[in-house]
Amino acid sequence: AHFSTDPNLRPSGRLELRTQKSAISQFRGLKFLGARFDEGDSIIFLRKEIFCGFLSAGKASVMASSLRLYLTCIRNTLEAAMCLQNFPCQEVERHNKPEVELKTSSELLLNPVLICRNEAERCLIETSINSLRLSLKVKQADELENILTKKFLRFLSIRAEAFQVLRRKPIQGYDISFLVTNYNCEEMQKQKLIDFIVQFMEDIDKEISDLKMSVNTRGRLVATEFLKQFL
Amino acid sequence: MGFSLRPRVENFRIGSDSSLEFQNYGHLSPARSDSGGAGAKAAPYLGGEAKKMAAIAVHQFAQSITCHAWSPDRSMIAICPNNNEVHIYRLSQEKWEKVHVLQKHDQIISGIDWSVKSNKIVTASHDRNSYVWNHEGSEWLPTLVILRLNRAALCVQWSPKENKFAVGSGAKTVCICYYEQDNNWWVSKLIRKRHESSVTSVAWHPNNIFVATTSTDGKCRVFSTFIKGVDTKYGRSSSSSDSKFGEQIVQLDLSISWAFGVKWSPSGKTLAYVGHNSMIYFVDDVGPAPLAQNVALRDLPLRDVLFISEKMVIGVGFDCNPMVFAPDDRGMWTFIRFLDEKKPTLASPKYGSQFSEALGKFYAQSKYGASNNDGNSPSKSRGGAHENCITCIMPLAGKSRITRFSTSGLDGRVVVWDLEKQEDLLHTL
């Protein structure tokens, strides 16, 4: 009854919802993040076949438009979730800890939101009163991509200091994690942070496929050179 | 007269005919508080065509402001620049100069209140302490208040008669402190029971007895703080059955998420507070049978509210724009409009410089020119007076009906807003 029906807020395309609270379509405001669901996480699942109706070109357009939708969904969720404030620790005096990592006071945590593009790609956003944790699972089609992703993201995670919002270790089950605290929001603009994260997600895919291509190319060149001696 | 502000958005228009001087504050550079005294300039602009502009002055004091309070004559402002100090600035000849720095706390100061009649400042900090500062000569002398808290203090407010003040804390308690003349000391009494989580905000009822508190367990509670030695002097009849210290008058469980920013209306009839699920709650007839109204917001949650009059409330929060609420003829509170005009422009596709440098090391090609492409819609910039979350709103001028108020936010700005020129809003006052 109290959700706005502004069409600009709903991402284009339909989303299948696995929860009863159909207000997932409205990402502004923390109505769904604040609600105490009983059925656990809310899952937003993008169905690929829906987009076949919208496009004229082939598979590339399908991937592109579902990527856009996925990223818009994440962006809207982050805009609602990244409302952080300074909050001293309730458990330990004179300390200030990111509550999403601590998880001792359940009233300070909000419901985590899981956004799935397909079975392989997922994004988990957990929020609390002073911090937000975003974990990504990147698409890994074959073994080579698996190794490349792991090495590349490990390379980035080790240099997490330079990124400030990156977490050194990804959450169990995911490839990379971000930890945004209220201090980050005070120093930097929220919109720019969200832009960074969304851009990061876009570029990860391109980077992994570039790496894979270069590995394959090099392998082919090396093999050709090696086998030339047997000609 | 110079106006110093670093514009983060190209189209940030301040006034049509004011001469603008842009000073680069270096948004990502640390420790600007020392240069704050010299750099912060008063910037009142009243452009001729800016009739409808509600924000009449924008002052940049620091990188980030936690809270602020005005002196009784409104010539001085006390701010906390997100560290353990209080900076007091005085406005002299259109420039702000830093006159005092109050340094006693060890951790960030979460609340400042400046009493109007007795000219005392009370500060509360995350280091579990609170100090009452008295102005003696040209110095501010602190007096420690033993709060007996074992967690951080989150908010503080003087009572209307200024003989008591209330401190909300992370220890799930509220401290009511009063001055004991015999010992020359501020004594505290704790309201221990009832709160299940940190107390985020406190507000005094005009009768100096009731205090409303909001907490991160989502509930708003009203307590009686009748103290025998302090309150009987004012002729309050003790026949009321609620006059026991710490007695809970009413508990409002309206919000499913954290509650912030509680305030009473000037007569004490209505109570307003905000929930983190983007709702604002108005409660009439606080007592055994309160009448509550929920107003859902379209956008991001609010942090604080202020009663302009009995019939108008301004809410501020994560939208960086004050929102006006007023009841219609039937008494149903609704959202009227935003106070600040926003000029939505396409933000430049660059992110913070640190990120682009770090990313540039890993991505050989430069894609910043092309990032302004189709799907990845760049974020809409605010273009308003505040660029980051507004955390605090304080009244400035006006007795029964506030005509001016000020807001401070995490972007380090204090913006003064004027309602005189907003004709459509004046009708509803």
Interface of B with A in 50-89 (CB under 8 A): 63-64, 66, 82
* Same-domain check for residues B212 and B329: yes
Question: Mutate which of B356, B366, B379, B390 to test chain A, going by most A C-beta atoms within 10 A?
Answer: B379
Q: What is the mean pLDDT of chain B?
A: 77
Q: Do B276 and A35 touch (CB under 8 A)?
A: no
Which pLDDT score is estimated for B7? 37
User: For residue B1, what are the contacts with CB-CB under 8 A and spacing of at least 6?
Assistant: B18, B19, B43, B94
* Same-domain check for residues B266 and B365: no
Q: How far is CA B294 from CA A1, A27, B139, B307, in A?
A: 12, 20, 46, 16
* Same-domain check for residues B99 and B228: yes
Decide: B55 and B3 in contact? Cβ < 8 Å. no
The edge-to-edge listing of strands for the beta sheet with B174-180 is B153-158, B164-169, B174-180, B185-191
**pLDDT tens digits for range A41-94:** 444 444 332 222 222 234 445 567 888 999 999 999 999 999 999 999 999 988
- In DSSP terms, B144 is beta-bridged to B131
Residues of A in contact with B110 (CB under 8 A): 86
Residues of B in contact with A64 (CB under 8 A): 375
Range of the domain at B369: 351-380
Of A28, A89, A191, the CB nearest to B299: A28
Question: Mutate which of B65, B257, B411 to test chain A, going by most A C-beta atoms within 10 A?
Answer: B257
In 3D space, the residue among A65, A71, A82, A80 whose CA is nearest the CA of residue A184 turns out to be: A82
Q: How far is CA A196 from CA A100, A220, B225, B356, B425, in A?
A: 21, 35, 49, 9, 39
Which pLDDT score is estimated for B350? 43
Interface of B with A in 271-300 (CB under 8 A): 275-279, 294, 296-300
Q: How many domains does chain B have?
A: 2
Which pLDDT score is estimated for B68? 93
- Tell me, yes or no, if B12 comes closer than 8 A to chain A by beta carbon: no
Residue of A nearest to B366 (CA): A203
* Same-domain check for residues B266 and B156: yes
Which pLDDT score is estimated for B359? 54
Which pLDDT score is estimated for B54? 75
Of B8, B127, B256, the CB nearest to A94: B127
Phi, psi of A69, deg, nearest 5: -65, -45
CA distance B17 to chain A (A): 29
Which pLDDT score is estimated for B44? 43
CA distance B197 to B171: 8
Q: Do B358 and A163 touch (CB under 8 A)?
A: yes
Residues of B in contact with A189 (CB under 8 A): 8, 352, 387-388
* Same-domain check for residues B365 and B413: no
CA angle B359, B361, B363 (to 5 degrees): 65
Residue of A nearest to B318 (CA): A83
Phi, psi of B346, deg, nearest 5: -80, 115
* Same-domain check for residues B32 and B146: yes
Of B64, B106, B216, the CB nearest to A129: B216
Decide: A99 and A107 in contact? Cβ < 8 Å. no
* Same-domain check for residues B398 and B361: no
- Tell me, yes or no, if B347 comes closer than 8 A to chain A by beta carbon: yes
Strands (DSSP E) contained in B66-180 are 67-70, 76-80, 85-92, 95-103, 109-114, 120-125, 130-136, 139-145, 153-158, 164-169, 174-180
- Tell me, yes or no, if B24 comes closer than 8 A to chain A by beta carbon: no
Quick check: pTM over 0.90?
Answer: no
Q: How many Cβ atoms are within 10 Å of A6's Cβ, its own excluded?
A: 10
Q: Do A28 and B257 touch (CB under 8 A)?
A: no
* Same-domain check for residues B285 and B360: no
Q: Do A30 and B376 touch (CB under 8 A)?
A: no
For residues A89-112, give the mean pLDDT: 90
CATH number at residue B409: 2.130.10.10
Residue of B nearest to A2 (CA): B296
Of B108, B294, B355, the CB nearest to A86: B108
Q: How far is CA B298 from CA B21, B54, B271, B302, in A?
A: 36, 22, 21, 11
Of A4, A67, A107, the CB nearest to B197: A107
Residues of A in contact with B278 (CB under 8 A): 28-31
For residues A3-18, give the mean pLDDT: 35
* Same-domain check for residues B237 and B362: no
ipTM of the complex: 0.76
* Same-domain check for residues B372 and B258: no
Which pLDDT score is estimated for B307? 92
Phi, psi of B49, deg, nearest 5: -85, -5
Q: Do B375 and A68 touch (CB under 8 A)?
A: yes
Which pLDDT score is estimated for B273? 93
Q: Do A3 and B296 touch (CB under 8 A)?
A: yes
Which pLDDT score is estimated for B424? 72
Which pLDDT score is estimated for A62? 58
Of A29, A94, A188, the CB nearest to B300: A29
Q: How many Cβ atoms are within 10 Å of B265's Cβ, its own excluded?
A: 20
Which pLDDT score is estimated for B234? 54
CA distance B223 to A91: 25
Does the pLDDT at position A176 exceed 90?
yes
CA distance B154 to B173: 11
* Same-domain check for residues B356 and B220: no
Q: What is the mean pLDDT of chain A?
A: 77
* Same-domain check for residues B42 and B191: yes
In the predicted model, residues of chain B with pLDDT beneath 50 are: 1-51, 238-239, 345-354, 361-377
Which pLDDT score is estimated for B380? 53
**pLDDT tens digits for range B237-276:** 544 555 788 888 888 888 888 999 999 998 888 999 999 9
Q: Do A163 and B276 touch (CB under 8 A)?
A: no
Give DSSP secondary structure letters for B26-92.
Answer: -TT-S--HHHHHHH-B--B---TTGGG--EEEEEE-SS---EEEE-TTSSEEEEE-SSSEEEEEEEE
Strands (DSSP E) contained in B318-419 are 323-327, 333-338, 390-397, 404-409, 413-418
Residues of B in contact with A186 (CB under 8 A): 63-64, 82, 388, 410
